[in-house]
Structure 1
Amino acid sequence: MSKTFKIYAIVFIIILIVVAMFSGNRKPALDWRKNFDVDKKTPFGLYIFNQESTGLFRGKLEKVGVSPYSYYQKNDQKKPHNILIIQKKLDDVSWQYILNEVSNGSDVMWFTNDTTAKLRDTLGFRFKTVSGEKNYYLQLTDEKLADSRLFIDKFPENQGFSYIRNDIEILGKTLHKAKSNKSSFSADFVKINFGKGHFYIHSEPLVLTNYYILNSRNKYVENVLSYLPNRETVWFIENDTSLSMSPMRFIISHPPLKSAWYLLIAGLLIFVFFNAKRKQRIVPVIEPLKNTSVEFIRSIGNLYLQEGDFHEMMAKKAQYFLSKIRMDLLIDTHSLDEQFIHKLHLKTGKNIELIKEAVTLVKKGQDPYASVMKEDLIRMNRILDDILK
C-alpha cells in the first residue's frame, strides 16, 4: 500500500468519525414528506392504515403489488368487487381496465387530489383550490355521520371538487374553522355513477396517514370506507421493487447511514479522480529490433580467418556471388561457361577480362582439391564486390 493511499485513508476515516459524532448528538429530523408508503412510520406514511386495513375491510382485503393492467389480465373473469386506490398514478391502460370493472358493477374508493385531464373529463369533475387556510374540518354530509369530523391542521392539500355534474352525489364537505356554517363549504368527497358501478373519490388522501389516524377522535375513516359494499376489496399498493429488493434498503432507510454511504461514495470518487490525475501507469520503452546480420557475418568471418581456412571462405563467397547472380540478374549459374560469361558481361557492363578472372576464382573456390592462398581470397573478394556494384 502506497504512502499516498494511507494518507487519504486516514483523512477519510477522520472525516467519518467527525460526521458520526455530530450526527449522533443530533436528534433525527421528522420526515413530513407525503410518501403514502405502507411501510413508513413517518407522519404521512400509511403504516397504521396498512396494519388495520384487514379489520377495516372485515378480512376481505387483497393487497396487490402489480399494476391493474397486470392484475386484471390474470383475473379477467373476476366478479364485481371493491377497488382501493390511494394517491397512486396509474397508466392509461390500467385505468381502462378499472373503468371496465366499474362498468360491470365494481366500486372504486379513490383517495387523490391529482388526476389526468382525460380521466376527469370521463368522470365529469374538476379539482379546485378550496382556500389558503392552514386548517379546516372534514365532515360527511349524511346526518347520521355528521358527528364524524376530522380536523386537518398539518400541510392540507386545500383541494375540492368543482364543475360537478347534477347526478354526482356529494358525500363529504370541507368546513373552515372560522366558517362552520352550512352555507359555506366545498365538496371533498363525492360519489360518481359509472355504468353498473360507482366511483367514491376523496380529495384529501392525508386522512389515511399515520398522523391523522392517531389524532382522530372519531370514526371518520371508518365511515368513509363504509360506503363500499361488504365484499372483496382489491387494494393496489405502490410497489417499489427497486427499493424493496435492494440490499441497500436498510442503509437508505436510516438518514445517518444514508449520509455516511453517500459520503463514502463521494470520498472514493474524489480519491480516484485526484489519484488518477497525479499518477499514470509507466509506459514501457520498447527497444526496436536490432539488425545483427552484420555482426553475425563478421563473427563467422573472424572464425574462418582465425582457423586459416581460406578455401572454405572462398567457397562461401562463391556461393553467395552465384546466388546474387541468380536472384538479381536472373542468369542461370549451373554451367559457368562462355555463354554465362557473355550474359554476365552484358547485364553488368563490366570488363570481359575481369569477369573471366572472377569465374576462374569462383571455380577455384568450388574445387575442393584446389590450393588456395590468402592472396586468392583477397583478390576474389575485391573482384566479386566490384562486379556486384
Structure 2
Amino acid sequence: MNKTFKIYAVIFIVVMVILALLEVNKKETTDWRKNFDVNKKTPFGLFVFNNEVKDLFKNNLKKIEQTPYDYYNQHPKKPHNILVIESDIDEESWRKILDEVSKGSDAMLIVNDIPREISDSIGYYDSDISFKEENVLKLTDKQYQNDFIKLDKFPSGRGFTFIKPQVEVLGKTIEKDNGDQANFIKVKFGKGNIYVHSEPLFLTNYYLLKPGNIKYTQDVFSYLQDKETLWFVESNTKTSRFFMRFILSNPALKYAWWLFLGGLVLFIFFNAKRKQRIVPIIEPLKNTSVDFVKSIGNLYLQEGDFHDMMAKKAQYFLHKIRLDLLIDTQNLDEDFIKKLQLKTGKPIEMIQEAVSLIKKAQDPYSHVMKEDLAALNTILDEIIK
C-alpha cells in the first residue's frame, strides 16, 4: 500500500466519521416538498386522500398504474370518469384523455400545469395569478358558499386567464388585496365535460386533516357523475426495482454512498493522471460548412438580389412558426399577429413591423433595398430567439 493511498484512506475515514456525527446529532425536520405521492405521510403527500378516496367515490373507483395512452389502447371503455392529480403525463396520454371525453366521459384534472397546446384546445391559459402566502379557495355555487379552504402553507398561486366564453368558472382564489381569480373551471368538450382545478394542495395530508376542509373536497368531486372513475396514479405509485433502492431511500446511507463513489473517482483520477502516457495532439478536421455559407452569402451580395434573400428569410421564419408554435401562417392578418404576440411575448408593434416586412418580401413586385433585408433579419431573429 503506497503513501498516496494511505492519505486518501485517512481523509475518507475522517470525512465519514464527521458525516456520521452530523447525522446522529441532526434534528428531525418536516419534509415540505410537494411530492403528491399516495404513499407519503409528509404534509404534501396524498396518503390520507388515498385511504379515503374509495368512500368518496362510493367504492366505484379504480386505480390505474399505467399511462392513459397505454391503458386505453388495451382497454376500450364506455363513458366513465377520469381523475388525474398532479401526475407526470405525456402529451399523447393527454390527447387520449381528451379523446375519451369527446366520446362522453368526464375528466377531473387537478393539476398545476398541462401542456399549452392541450389547454389551448380546451379554451384557457393557465398562469400565476397570486404571489400571496395565504389565500382562500371557494366555489362559486351558492349552495357551497360555507365550504372553503384557507391555504396558509405554500400555495402555488396558479389560476386561469384568457378564458373563452364556453368555459364555466366553478371556483375562485380569494385574496384581501386583489380581485377574485378563477382556479376551478368546467368546459364542455364533445359529448363529455372537463373539470380543471389548478391547486392540488387541497387534497394533501396537511389540508385534509384540518377540521372542516373535507367538505370543500367533497363539493369539488360532487360535480362528477355517479359512474366508474379511473384514477391514473402511474407516476406516483411505481416502486423502484433498482437493487440500490434501500441505500438511496435512506438519507444517511445515500450521502455515504455518493461520497464513497466521489472519493473513488478522485482516487482513480489522480492515480491515472500520474501514470498516463502523453496523448498526441490530433488536429481536428476542418469545418468547411462556415466557408460554404460565407461563399453563398458573398454570391448573393455580389448579385445584389436582396429581394430573393429577404423572401427566403421570411419563408424560413414562417416555417419555424408553424413547426414550433403551431400557428397557421396562411393568412398574415390581425388574428395571426395576436396569436404570435401571445406565444412569443414580444411587443405588438414589433410583430406588426415583422408582418409588414414579410408581406413586402412575399410581393414579387416590391422594391427591396439592403436596409429592408437588414431590418427583416434583425427583427425576425429577435422574435424567435
TM-score scaled by length of structure 2: 0.66
1:30 — aligned with what?
Answer: 30
- Aligned counterpart for 1:204 among listed residues 199, 203, 207: 199
Alignment of 1:204-353 (within 5 A): 204-215=199-210, 217-218=212-213, 219-239=215-235, 244-278=240-274
CA contact (8 A) 1:135 1:177 kept: no
Shifted more, 134-143 versus 121-130: the winner is 121-130
Question: After the TM superposition, which parts of structure 1 deviate over 3 Å for at least 4 consecutive aligned residues?
Answer: 1-11, 240-243, 275-281
Deviations 1:150-192 (A, max 9, x none): 011222121222222333222111111456xxxx411111111
Task: Answer yes or no: is the 8 Å Cα contact 1:208–1:221 preserved in 2.
Answer: yes
Q: TM-score, normalised by structure 1?
A: 0.65
Q: Residue deviations 1:300-351, cap 9 Å, x none?
A: xxxxxxxxxxxxxxxxxxxxxxxxxxxxxxxxxxxxxxxxxxxxxxxxxxxx
**How many residues were matched structurally?**
276
One-letter code of the match for 2:169?
I
Q: Which runs of 5+ in 1 are unaligned?
A: 282-389
Match of 2:148 in 1: 149
The Cα RMSD (Å) is 2.4
Report the AA paired with residue 70 of structure 1: D
1:243–1:249 contact (8 Å) kept in structure 2: no
Aligned-partner residue type, residue 249 of structure 1: R
Letter in 2 for 1:224: V
Map 1:120-131 → 2, pairs under 5 A: 120-131=119-130
Alignment partner of 1:92 is 2:91: yes
Deviation per residue, 1:86-132 (Å, 9 max, x gap): 12343332222211211111111101221222112211111243232
Percent identical across equivalent pairs?
A: 50
The CA deviation at 1:214 is 2.2
Structure 1 window deviating more from structure 2 (46-55 vs 184-193): it is 46-55
Contact 1:37 1:238 in 2 (8 A): no
State the 1:241 CA deviation: 8.7
Question: What is the deviation of 1:280?
Answer: 7.5
1:195 paired with 2:187, answer no
Contact 2:65 2:237 in 1 (8 A): no
2:71 equivalent in structure 1:
71
The residue that corresponds to 1:112 in the other structure is: 111
* Aligned CA distance change for structure 1 residues 129 and 195 (closer, same or farther; 3 Å): same
Displacement after TM superposition at 1:278 (Å)? 4.5
Partner of 2:14: 14
How far off is 1:59 after superposition? 1.6
- Larger Rg over CA atoms: 1
Evaluate the alpha carbon distance shift between residue 241 and residue 122 of structure 1 in structure 2; reply closer, same or farther with a 3 A threshold. same
1:173 is aligned to 2:172 = yes
User: Contact 1:65 / 1:237 at 8 angstroms: preserved in 2?
Assistant: yes
3-state secondary structure, aligned to 1:192: strand
